[in-house]
């Protein structure tokens, strides 16, 4: 797993290109946004944090767009791992320049802190473009997915799931995301959030919110700060349901017509 995270970090560095949502409704053939943030301290406190993001979209045909959003997080305190995670979101859109358009989605993730060995889910849904201008974008989407999760333990905070390391179920997904430019596009505020309830159990749901800001420095280069919040209601015993993280770094944005 560590090799996968190192590979994603190397890709981010070698492409040298901030993270926010890529707009699949743009007329661009190719978009790429990548960022790398981290911290290292040695002495009275030993600390290593590396967080990377690598997002891109490709339009092989005027009616189709493929988008992939990937991120990793590695944290260690006194050489003891606290996080070693990968999260990959992958989409296929049909006619995304329309006000309403369909999508197919597939996610892959791991979560060391929450004792998730692997999680996969795939499904389909629809996106509604509420706002899509040069300075402001707001999109809403809804989808249905089938999810398979393998945990490292079989004891949960909800005893209904005890005795099985695998939880497979159908979920709904409600999503909102967008961004706004300010001061002649020198500042970009971006955000996305989703809620995923299970269809067969009201206690099994999760929420994620990411809010970030880019401050333009020079020709696509920017300073960025990102705050992330996640809540997972069904977790392994003694694992907290909520995580919050605030990171800072530099980023670059590349677009090709």
Using 50, 70 and 90 to split pLDDT, how confident is the model at 33?
confident
pTM attached to this predicted model: 0.78
Give CATH superfamily name and number for 2-256. Answer: monomeric porin ompg (2.40.160.40)
pLDDT of residue 34: 79
Express each pLDDT in 162-221 by its tens digit.
999 999 999 999 999 999 999 888 898 999 999 999 998 999 999 999 998 888 887 767
Count CB atoms within 10 A of the CB of residue 83: 20
The pLDDT assigned to 65 comes to 93
Indicate if the pLDDT at residue 14 is higher than 80: no
Cβ atoms of 106 and 122 closer than 8 Å: yes
pLDDT tens string 94-139: 999 899 999 999 999 998 888 999 999 999 999 999 998 889 999 9
Show me where the domains of the chain are located.
Answer: 2-256
Q: How far apart are CA 106 and CA 67, in angstroms?
A: 11
Name the residue with higher pLDDT: 222 or 233: 233
């Amino acid at each position: 797993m560590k090799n996968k995270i190192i590979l994603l970090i190397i890709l981010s560095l070698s492409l040298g290109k901030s993270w926010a949502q890529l707009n699949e409704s743009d007329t661009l053939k190719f978009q790429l946004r990548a960022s790398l943030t981290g911290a290292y301290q040695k002495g009275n406190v030993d600390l290593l944090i590396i967080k990377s993001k690598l997002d891109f979209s490709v339009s092989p045909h005027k009616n189709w767009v493929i988008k992939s959003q990937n991120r990793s997080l590695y944290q260690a305190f006194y050489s003891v791992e606290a996080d070693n995670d990968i999260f990959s979101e992958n989409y296929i859109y049909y006619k995304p320049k329309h006000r309403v358009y369909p999508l197919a989605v597939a996610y892959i993730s791991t979560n060391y802190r929450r004792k998730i060995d692997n999680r996969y889910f795939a499904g389909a849904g629809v996106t509604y473009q509420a706002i899509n201008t040069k300075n402001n974008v707001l999109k809403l989407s809804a989808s249905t997915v089938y999810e398979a999760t393998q945990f490292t333990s079989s004891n949960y905070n909800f005893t209904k799931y005890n005795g099985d390391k695998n939880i497979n179920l159908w979920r709904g997904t409600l999503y909102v995301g967008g961004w706004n430019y300010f001061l002649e596009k020198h500042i970009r505020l971006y955000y996305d959030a989703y809620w995923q309830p299970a269809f067969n159990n009201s206690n099994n749901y999760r929420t994620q919110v990411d809010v970030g800001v880019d401050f333009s420095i020079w020709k696509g280069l920017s300073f960025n700060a990102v705050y992330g919040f996640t809540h997972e209601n069904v977790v392994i015993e003694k694992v907290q349901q909520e995580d919050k993280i605030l990171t800072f770094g530099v980023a670059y944005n590349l677009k090709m017509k």
